[in-house]
Amino acid sequence: MNRERLFARLRATFVEELDEQLRAADGHLLALERAPADAGELRALFRVMHTLKGAARAAAVPDAEAACHAAEALLATVRDASRPLAPAEVASLFATADVLRALQQSMAGELGVGDAVEAPAAAAAAVVPDSLELATPQPARAQESVRVASDRLDSLLTATNRLIISAGRGATDAEEAEALFTLLRTARAQWAQLYRTVRSQRGEDAQSGALTRQFAKLDEGMRELAGRSSRLADATAGTARELDVVALELSSGVRGLRQRPFESALDGLARMVRDIAAGSGKQVRLETSGAQLEADRGVLEPLREAVLHLVRNAVDHGIEQPEARRALGKPEEGVVHVEAAVGAGRMIVVVRDDGRGIDVAAVRRALERRGETVDGDDRAVVTRLLEGGISTRQAATDISGRGVGLDAAREAVQRVGGDLRFDWTAGRGTTFTIDVPVTMATLRAVLMRVGTSIVACPTAFVVRMLRVPLADLVVSEGRPAIATAAGPVLLASLSSVLGLPASPEGDGMTTAVILDDATGRRIAIRVDALLDESDVVVRPIRAQGEQPARHISGAALLPNGEIALVLNVGAVITDAAGRADVSTSAAVARSAGAVRRRVIVADDSITTRTLEQSVLEAAGYEVMTGFDGAEGWRLLQEFGADIVVADVEMPRMTGLEFCRAIRSSPRFANLPVILITGLESPEDRMRGLEAGADAYLGKSSFEQAALVDVVRDLLGSHGRETADSRPGR
């Protein structure tokens, strides 16, 4: 990646990061306005400004860097004096945020990132103390916004999906045109050889005969046909490439138009909690997080339905009366928390409460009243609740008691190819985890053949695809498993899970795909063949008068006209694993051959992470990134590394704490650690070295070549000592 492209990418990333961090800054400032002495909010705001300063330096945006530095200096002064913020200082920090927002909007308009709107006049005219010395950027030119009816968006999405399918067929046509050209080129070569043979056999006297003239005419025609087929192949390939680019751009744009924040799925939730609690004499507080994360409207609508059912059950069934909570040593006020997270094309929503948990005995009694018995442990009994028709209430109310809440939640989740799981601790609460795709329109998938069927598995869940000799399989928990460096991964037949006819192993080998869902559950599934990886358009399916298959989330029309069944991976893993304790951190063994040295980069600024990752990958290293020290520590424990590069000021776990954790670990004690930070005083450097860092680089003097040189030097001196910190090495 050349320098211009890299900095264009960094600036675009910085614009997005600036928007996100400013939202956080506003929240901290509002809290500080209410409680100027809140040290926690002060530290959080300091961290936001510190992160943005480093990101601005990485993206070469000096105005933003200067503004953040001035704000950071003001916050440091207040922090060191252990005093509350003065009203004028709070106002100046709000003005700083306004100026940064105006800068973000201006850059967004220049780069075409997001929706550039005119910056508020108050930002440009804000009164800022002289000590901050902030440069006010010019506001961006306003852009118009329009409202589009949802049915028109749906129609546009349908047309876009047809275009994507046509683009796939165009690629197939281009391959056919190329194959035709190759065939004609071969035929012409054979014809030319035959022509020469005939001329040689007829002799020089017959060169001007009628037969020879006919041969010559045919030869000229073959040459023309080959030339035209060559031009057709080139033109078809170019058209297919252009069509593919246009289709993907249009698809991305339409999906963006359909995106809505998760908070739209929370509409009315707080009021519902308040009303149910008030009607039952309970005290319940609703907490939410991840409200600004986005997903497709078609996913959020059934997700909202599921969340409403789960929260209603949590308040009505889970949270105890105040006197009961007091007797258990709990606060009188119960808490229901709804949290959303997005990653790898999936949205994970967790609904948890601190109530009584699931009353397994009551569930058994309810089953007995219906004349049902469930063999197995408590989890098997409780799982029956998800099938509907069961309630632990003796009498129905207008809120619950009809046995449809959890069943309705599960059905809503499965409509969009999702999965619903649960866990509970008696007397401590219940947790439901919803796993759904961010969009149902298109996805990147691995295509596999199982018997006579083609199935598509979302690439986000695929850890590894491999061919394993049957003789190398091991037995774990009485079942066949694939051995990995961190332990066996259970192997199951996908045909058995899907209820398809089984295919015998014919060559002493098994083809397997190791899957890992968003919560870390892992399983290996056996398939008959791996076909391809491509973008597919997903369509919902439903048999007439029946519910959709539990393991299938939709169908995809392939360019060759075949239909692929799209797997609901969560349901596949659940049923394939059964009750087995599948490891949540099993690391797949790496090849015994040459392995690139691995670097873990931990920094809470996505701009800085992107810069350092680009530099190190360009130097030939494998790079894994974490958004803070805690994530970096998790990556290190799960995957190992040859060296760690970390920022100092990060949430949850700072770089110093990360470094100390590494030094106190027997496994990683000798691992090289580089700290890169904007805290560059001699005292800061001493703290870093005392924590165990091997090198301490300042961001103000940061050079790309210097980072690569330090990494190479440290790996050269520590290479033998760190070999055992990588799985499979």
Q: Please, what are the averages of pLDDT over each run of 10 residues along the chain (729 residues)?
A: 72 84 84 88 89 85 90 90 91 89 86 44 34 37 50 68 72 80 82 75 60 75 82 84 78 75 86 84 93 88 91 92 95 95 85 92 81 71 69 47 64 80 91 86 83 87 82 75 77 85 65 74 87 78 55 79 83 70 31 62 86 82 88 88 92 91 89 86 84 84 78 71 44
**Residue 650 CB neighbour total at 10 angstroms:** 27
What does the block give as tokens for 470? 């049957």
- CA angle in degrees (0–180, nearest 5) for 380-546-523: 45
Give residue 629's Cα distance to chain centre: 19
Taking the C-alpha atoms of residue 34 and residue 439, their distance in angstroms, rounded to an integer, is 39
Nearest CA to 300 among 289, 310, 308, 312? 308
Nearest to 351 by CA among 404, 289, 259, 283: 289
* Residue type (1 letter), 561: G
d(CA 463, CA 589): 11
Looking at residue 150, its pLDDT comes to 60
pLDDT of residue 355: 95
What is residue 581's predicted lDDT score, i.e. its pLDDT?
Answer: 33
The three state secondary structure string of 608-644 is HHHHHHHHHHHCCCEEEEECCHHHHHHHHHHHCCCEE
One-letter amino acid at 463 equals V
Closest among 455, 480, 454 to 469, alpha carbons compared: 480
Starting at the edge strand that comes first in sequence, how are the strands of the sheet with 643-646 ordered? 622-626, 598-602, 643-646, 673-677, 695-698
Euclidean distance between CA atoms 508 and 255, whole angstroms: 45
| 225 CA to centre of own chain | 50
The pLDDT of residue 167 is 75
Nearest partner of 422 among 328, 491, 353, 477, judged by Cα: 353
In degrees, rounded to 5, the angle at the alpha carbon of residue 713 between the alpha carbons of residues 707 and 715 is: 100
What token pair was written down for 703?
A: 């050079």
Cα separation, 580 vs 401, whole angstroms: 33
